[in-house]
Structure 1
Amino acid sequence: MKISKRGIDLLKHFESYEMKAYKCPADVWTIGWGFTRVDGVKVKEDDIMTSEEANLELIKQLRTYENVVKKAIMIKKINQNQYDALVSLCYNIGGSSFRRSDIVKLVNNRNFIGACRIFNLWSKAAKKRSKGLLRRRMAERNLFCSWPDPIVKVVPKNYQETLENYKESEK
């Protein structure tokens, strides 16, 4: 299985292409479609990347994250939308965080509803809740659940209450 155009479109929507290196909310130099490394070398200030280079690098880097998802998810029956959402999440949080995540455990236990409920918990940058990351997690959750229009444009006002409700329900 490979990430679909829909999955790539969702990822690109939230990463957005940047030609010049910039510091992301986690204070890391980033370029292109959210790359912090290119060919194993850390992105640094003053780096520049054309859109063509960024698109080629994205395909190359996605293969790495697809392999992480394929190895971490032990069950055979996930659909394309679930796979795309998991690859997008893995791309954003990194392979080691993804492998250790409760989302992986829940999917491997075929608890898809439980997995849907906790995408939102991965919405912090530099230990602070980020509305941008929350929008992304909500969109990934929506794609995972195969909802028709996964992109979330506005974060609900009660988003923190929702997170607290989840934590309470798990006690």
Structure 2
Amino acid sequence: DRFQKDNLPVYNLLLNSERKEQDKALDELNIDQKDLKDIEDINILNQFRKDFSKNHEFKQLNLSFDTNLIKLYFIIPKNISKSYKDAYKKFEKKELGAGYFKELHEYDKIIRNSLKDNKELNEYHFSFLAPAKMKNLKLQIAKGLDKILEDEDRKQDLFVCKFVVVNGIGENRIKTKNKDVNINNDNATKSNNNENINYSDTQEKITHLSNDGKNLLKSIEKLRLKPYNDQNGKEITSYVKGATIGYGHLIGQNEWDLYKNGITLQESDKLFESDLLPFENAVKNSINPSLMQNEFDALVILCFNIGINNFKNSSVIKIINGEKTSYKTLKEAWMAWNKSQNKVMQGLINRRNSEYKLYTQGVYEKW
């Protein structure tokens, strides 16, 4: 009942095929690598293999209780990204891995749409990009639902239970209809504080491109100190539509006299910083879910290339915000931006691959 006073206690469940049972209600399970198994469904496994490199492990965990079956899929990077390496060296609980859990909603939708109706079980699927080198995680069951049910202001739009991903310094709230489960990774990567702290209360929303993101964008755009035509890369001495200078700065006709004789390296850096702001704001104001730094960076780099209006109306934004589009996956929507003047360009395909790899894997590298 949606207005029940208390959480429904769970005294026993099946973790894969092994029964977990005790006299008091289960509220926490510690999961080791041996508890995870290879993904059973070959179609799901092939989809993950298609979108993620061989430097990832693909694992599954089944939880069954009463008439409910939850299937959790974990995509675990084998290598630690550059941004986490220093923190990981200092972190004591290395078995928790480096990084964060991120639910991959687009895969949840693909899996859900491919399933046939199951009349015997309420079956739910959740896919996660897990911390790199993760060997251990913690499941918490039925945490905090009472407090929500007692909040009169929230009853109108309340789902009975919630699905929460907790990771030491952050909490991403995802509503579902039938259960209240936390996946907990105590690895904070930047500190050894293992308390579960609400994300919105402790971490400011990311609003600026990181230094790694700036360096990647600069390497993609390339520095030009003399004006050039962005369609053919040739230097120009008179204004044309598409006149560009610095790190991809599009010169307006009213700016031509300012830039026609070229700029210095110092001026190009200042111009780059000022150019970034509207693109950073576009990402900040267009995306509803909380973003990790690598995700924010990838979206800014995409926006910088396709333009703010195109970005705001793109299927990429709609999918991330949970809206329906004609594209089945985020990757399809992202890779669709591969044309210039209605022609597919290999350079844009390379760029989209680099951006998407940054978004999903936290890898800052040019092709």
TM-score of the pair, normalised by structure 1: 0.77
Alignment of 1:82-161 (within 5 A): 82-109=295-322, 114-148=329-363, 150-152=365-367
**Which residue of 42, 45, 48 maps to 2:262?**
48
The alpha-carbon deviation at position 43 of structure 1 amounts to: 4.7
The alpha-carbon deviation at position 117 of structure 1 amounts to: 3.2
Residue 33 of structure 1 is matched in structure 2 by 247
Are the aligned partners of 1:19 and 1:48 in contact in 2 as well (CA < 8 Å)?
yes
Q: Which has a greater percent of helix?
A: 1
Provide Cα deviations, 1:91-125, integer angstroms capped at 9, x if missing partner. Answer: 111110000000000111189x9223332211211
CA distance in 2, matches of 1:41, 1:95: 20
Provide Cα deviations, 1:21-43, integer angstroms capped at 9, x if missing partner. Answer: 111128611110001137x9455
The alpha-carbon deviation at position 90 of structure 1 amounts to: 0.6
Are the aligned partners of 2:225 and 2:246 in contact in 1 as well (CA < 8 Å)?
yes
CA distance in 2, matches of 1:148, 1:110: 27
CA distance in 2, matches of 1:106, 1:127: 24
Structure 1: gaps (5+ residues): 153-171
Code of the aligned partner of 2:265: S
Residue 156 of structure 1 is matched in structure 2 by none
Residue 58 of structure 1 is matched in structure 2 by 272
Identity rate of aligned residues, in percent? 30
Are the aligned partners of 1:36 and 1:43 in contact in 2 as well (CA < 8 Å)?
no
Change (3 A) 1:32 1:110: same
SS at match of 1:145: helix
**Which residue of 202, 209, 230 maps to 1:3?**
209
- Name the Cα RMSD after superposition: 2.4
SS at match of 1:87: helix
Change (3 A) 1:47 1:94: farther
CA distance in 1, matches of 2:255, 2:307: 15
Change (3 A) 1:74 1:55: same
Provide Cα deviations, 1:108-148, integer angstroms capped at 9, x if missing partner. Answer: 1189x922333221121122111112111110011001253
Change (3 A) 1:130 1:43: farther
Structure 2: gaps (5+ residues): 1-205, 233-240
Q: Which has a greater percent of strand?
A: 2
Are the aligned partners of 2:316 and 2:333 in contact in 1 as well (CA < 8 Å)?
yes
CA distance in 1, matches of 2:227, 2:354: 26
Are the aligned partners of 2:247 and 2:268 in contact in 1 as well (CA < 8 Å)?
yes
Are the aligned partners of 1:30 and 1:43 in contact in 2 as well (CA < 8 Å)?
no
Task: Indicate the larger mover: 141-150 or 82-91.
Answer: 141-150
Say which one has the larger Rg.
2
Are the aligned partners of 1:36 and 1:42 in contact in 2 as well (CA < 8 Å)?
no
Are the aligned partners of 2:213 and 2:364 in contact in 1 as well (CA < 8 Å)?
no
